[in-house]
Structure 1
Amino acid sequence: MTIKRYLLIVILSSIVLATFSAALQGFKASNQKLNFVFDGEMRSIAFTLKNSPIAPSDFDVDTHSSFAFQIWKADKLIVKSKNAPSQKIANSTEEFGYRSFLGNHWRYFSLLDEHSHVIVAQPMPQRIESIEEVLLEAVLPIVIVIPIIGLIVYSAVNKALSPIRTLSESVMQKDASDLTPINIEANTTDLEPIQNTINGLLERLNAAFEREKSLASNAAHELRTPISVLKLNAHNLKIAFEAESIKEQNIDDLTANTERMAHVIEQVIALNRTTPENFDAKKTQFNISNLLQEVIASNFSKIDSQGQSVSLNATSMSIFADKFSLETLFDNLIKNAIKYSGIGAEILISATRNRDNITISVEDSGPGIHEDQLDKVMQRFYRVKHHEQTGSGLGLSIVSHIVALHKGNVTLGRSSLGGLRVDIVLPHLDIGNIDAG
């Protein structure tokens, strides 16, 4: 059953039920009120007859009404109406009562004293007919108006449900490839959250599909070269094996290219893992200075092998963020500094905080990046030309992606040490300093 049909059935049924309930209550009230009026009328007639100088008569009186009366004196009927029987209507001393005679059921009023007995009666069918006429006059306009009310209710419900019907039709018309937002012109306050929720879902679904396509594209694009190189290394190693002239260089080349492919795979997976859907739920409060120390420690063997020096200038400070993604971010920045700054270079990492933000800077004394390439290095798979070191071109792209998830910003520039400087600005929720370590 549709919402419109359900609402129409419920509303119209309620109106009809309320109308007939009101009619029933009106009938009861009218019955009580009119009986009271008729009883008062019979009482008035009885007292009028009692106090009137009516002489005995052998002729019945035509009252030209439905009321019947009898006047008795000393148990002798002295006068009566044409519609009254010759027998006494009421023998009891009760004022009001019911009696059947002349084929009708009557209500009577008995006025008895020492000298006379006056009885006035009225047929009950007349009373009921009068009550029905009053009720019909009251209810008939309502009954006539019910169809008009039905048309008004139908029009109102139809108009009120029009945005929902439009929304339903818009959703039903979409196929699996159509993830464009839904726009309902005749929107309402109640329907707007539903439209926003559906559009948000479509946006997230579209973003998820784009990420999946991007992941496949990234993997295919980046793994093609190392796989080709690995095939070449394997071919050279096979030739050297057959010639019994395997050299250490053959093994080193194979190892280096295997590590390069493993690094590319890790970077692609890291980029895919840091998505809006799994990001907010993983935010925690932690010490960012401790995290920087851990990332430096995990890369210290590479720093030492390059004869480089690294220093950390940061006080204990807390941040509410996703620890895994920030660890990936800092690891990329520090690895880039180690790889591209050169042997014996100096690497400086600092973290400062103001009222709203935390700024993390990673700078080195290497050759840096030319100004006309600073904007391009944030793009996926872009590599600085004329650079001795090879890479996946994903490191700074991942950094930019993670910073955007944290609603921060990243800037590249020239370091005071002579090389590249990367500044990461992140908003934070400060709950006070926490102990380091």
Structure 2
Amino acid sequence: MTLRLRLLLMIGVSMLLLWGGVAIWMLHGLEQEMQRTLDQRLEMSAHMVAGLMSQNPAAWNGRSGKAGVSTLSMPDTVKGLACQVSLRGEVIASTPGAAPQAIDHVGPGFVNREIRGEHWRSYTLDKLGLRVTTSDRLSERSTLLRNVMVAAVVPFVVALLGSLMVLWFGVGSGLRPLERLRQVLARRTPDSLTPIENAPMARDLQPLVNTLNHLLARVSETFSRERRFTSDAAHELRTPLTAIKIHLQVARITHGKEAEVAMDYAEEGVARLQHSLSQLLTLSQVEGTVSWEDGRIAEANEVALLAMRDAAPEAPERIELDSDASGAELALPQALAVTALRNLLENALRHSPANNSIRLEVRRRPDTVRFSVCDRGPGLSDEALVLAKQRFWRRGSGRGSGLGLSIVAAIAERFGGSFELLQRPEGGLEAKLTLPRKKQLDAN
């Protein structure tokens, strides 16, 4: 079903229900008002006849016998009306067609009766010894009411149908800008991610066009980032693969100590390649839509201890821990929190002198936990501090994959935290990783 037809049906059904209810209410009120008006006519007719008779009492005082035959002819439009005047049970005057049964056992007021197979609505008035009865044929009332209802309903139905037709063309005209936007998008090629020109668009479509432009900008940025990522990854992986290939060739053509050294270098290259692939996989999962819910509670101190164990399994004394965040739970999976902190510790250990230790501070705040890693390395320039978070960036010909800090930044961004590198006045770097805490802890 098209949007145009759906809108027409929704609005048309709403109009039909609304105006149908109004019409039923109006017709019900009209029927009651007509019945009341016709009853008033009967009552007024009886009072008028009684008033005329009372003005000439000589015409009926002491009268006996039967009523004379009326010489009046009744038009077709009033054949549904009848009137009888009686004195002491004797009809002394009546309209043509009026039956004497109309006054039999009839008390004052309104009553519905069946006379000669027809249903009548009668009103009887007793005044000055006279009894005046006026009657309406109910079939005539029904015909009158039906004609009035038809006269009221037909214009309503015509107006409703006309409104639906106007609405059909109006909805089509209103959706025309949206159709033009669809045509603009349909003419685009898959790699066309430039913003949509919104000058000729309707003002109501500006928010939609702006949202589409923001989406196209984000998609374009994602594509560019992925292309750079693919290119950098291919370059970074080609280097260790080439080195492994060379060392294996050397091991094949040599023997003894030289072959062992070549195999050691090849094994080191494999380890480096494996580490790079692991970092690449982690980064792609963090920046993607993969769910990391592992069911483990990320407690700040436990995260710090696990990261220290992984970063320096052979020299744990090189890391000094200072923490006041016991019991603080983090609002992210434990595996990612450990990965981010481990990368910071590995980076600090790699660039600090072998005989120097690094310091890990864990500070608890109302909504966050801050991990600060301080080293005593050579530090970085202001320009290098900006580049350090980029993928595959390494200082000089340093070892490592160049992905550790970019993974830390990606984890912090995904879960609403922050990551910054600062130059320490006394030398070295301070890496600050701020991660959110679980909100339910604040209510306890």
TM value normalised by structure 2? 0.72
Q: Does 1:254 align with 2:266?
A: yes
Relative to structure 1, the CA distance from residue 167 to residue 29 in structure 2 (aligned partners, 3 Å threshold; closer, same or farther) is farther
| Cα RMSD, aligned residues only | 4.7
Residue of structure 1 equivalent to 2:385: 374
Q: Structure 1: which amino acid aligns with 2:306? A: E
Query: Number of paired residues?
Result: 417
Equivalent in 68, 72, 96 of residue 62 of structure 1:
72
Cα deviation, residue 261, structure 1: 0.8
The DSSP-based 3-state class of the residue aligned with 1:410 is strand
Cα deviation, residue 13, structure 1: 2.6
Q: Does 1:39 align with 2:50?
A: no
The 5-angstrom pairing of residues 310-349 of structure 1 reads: 310-317=319-326, 318-322=328-332, 323-349=334-360
Residue of structure 2 equivalent to 1:236: 250
Cα deviation, residue 296, structure 1: 1.9
Q: Does 1:292 align with 2:295?
A: no
The 5-angstrom pairing of residues 185-264 of structure 1 reads: 186-187=203-204, 213=227, 216-241=230-255, 246-264=258-276
Cα deviation, residue 390, structure 1: 2.4
Cα deviation, residue 373, structure 1: 2.9
The 5-angstrom pairing of residues 49-198 of structure 1 reads: 51=54, 52-53=56-57, 54-55=59-60, 58=68, 60=70, 62=72, 66=78, 67-71=81-85, 78-81=92-95, 83-84=96-97, 88-90=100-102, 92-95=104-107, 96=111, 97-100=113-116, 107-109=121-123, 119-124=133-138, 126-128=140-142, 130-131=144-145, 146=160, 150=164, 177=191, 186-187=203-204
Residue of structure 2 equivalent to 1:395: 404
Cα deviation, residue 421, structure 1: 1.3
Task: List runs of 5+ in structure 1 lacking aligned partners.
Answer: none
Whether contact under 8 Å (1:409, 1:424) holds in the other structure is yes
Distance in 2 between residues matched to 1:34 and 1:371, nearest whole Å: 97
Relative to structure 1, the CA distance from residue 421 to residue 76 in structure 2 (aligned partners, 3 Å threshold; closer, same or farther) is closer
Task: List runs of 5+ in structure 2 lacking aligned partners.
Answer: none
Whether contact under 8 Å (2:390, 2:406) holds in the other structure is yes
